[in-house]
Amino acid sequence: MIRSIAFLACLLPAAVLAQTHSGHHGGGATPAASQPMTQDSGGPGLRPTQPGQGAFAAIQEIVEILEQDPRTDWSKVDIEALRQHLADMSAVTLSSEVKAEAVEGGRRFTVTGTPPVRDAVRRMVLAHAATMNDREGWRFEAAPIENGATITVRVPAKDAAKLKGLGFLGVMTRGMHHQEHHLMIARGDRPHQ
């Protein structure tokens, strides 16, 4: 009896995840990856929904959107450009070095790395500053430096503690514009230029 309860407890998160995943596709057909398996497929009733790697999952999501959109111009689609952008995101997130210092009205982040990381830092930081400048009263100034880039963020006084808590990477995640940029890149647009 205890084993049965433990087994069911282990399955519950997977069932919830499968249900949650199917809700992310906005009223359309549920993708096969999140549909329960039938008994003749040999599975226990659920199929895995996680593709196993974040960049792969982001590309998979974009490909699914493109395939479901009859307006997709496949002659312009560039999934390789999206892959390169996701590689930049990974390099900046996992391999850059960040030094933070207080400046009047905000903080300055000096972000550096070895040549491949340096180039990713420059692309990501300069694009983010241009995209997010003046939103919610947050001011961004970015400039390339020898081994990367600096980004200075000045915020209203009420957001000073928030800025300090977010740090560089938290600042880079703000705005929920990344997902739309991924779709634009995959469609062949160049949102960062």
Counting beta carbons within 10 angstroms of the beta carbon of residue 72, is it exposed (0 to 12), middle (13 to 18) or buried (19 or more)? middle
Distance CA 42, CA 100 (A): 54
Distance CA 77, CA 63 (A): 10
1-43 tens-digit pLDDT: 444 333 334 433 443 333 334 344 443 333 444 444 444 455 6
Tell me the CB-side half-sphere exposure of residue 134, using CA atoms within 13 A.
Answer: 1
Domain count, the chain: 1
Query: Domain for residue 148, yes or no?
Result: yes
Query: Domain for residue 16, yes or no?
Result: no
**Domain that includes residue 121, residue range:** 79-186
Query: Domain for residue 107, yes or no?
Result: yes
Query: Domain for residue 130, yes or no?
Result: yes
Query: Domain for residue 53, yes or no?
Result: no
In this prediction, residue 175 carries a pLDDT of 79
Query: Domain for residue 113, yes or no?
Result: yes
Query: Domain for residue 36, yes or no?
Result: no
Task: For residues 153-162, give the mean pLDDT.
Answer: 98
Q: For the whole prediction, is pTM greater than 0.85?
A: no
167-182 tens-digit pLDDT: 999 999 997 667 887 8
Distance CA 165, CA 161 (A): 6
72-107 tens-digit pLDDT: 999 999 999 999 999 999 999 999 999 999 999 999
For residues 99 and 110, the answer to whether their CB atoms sit within 8 Å is yes
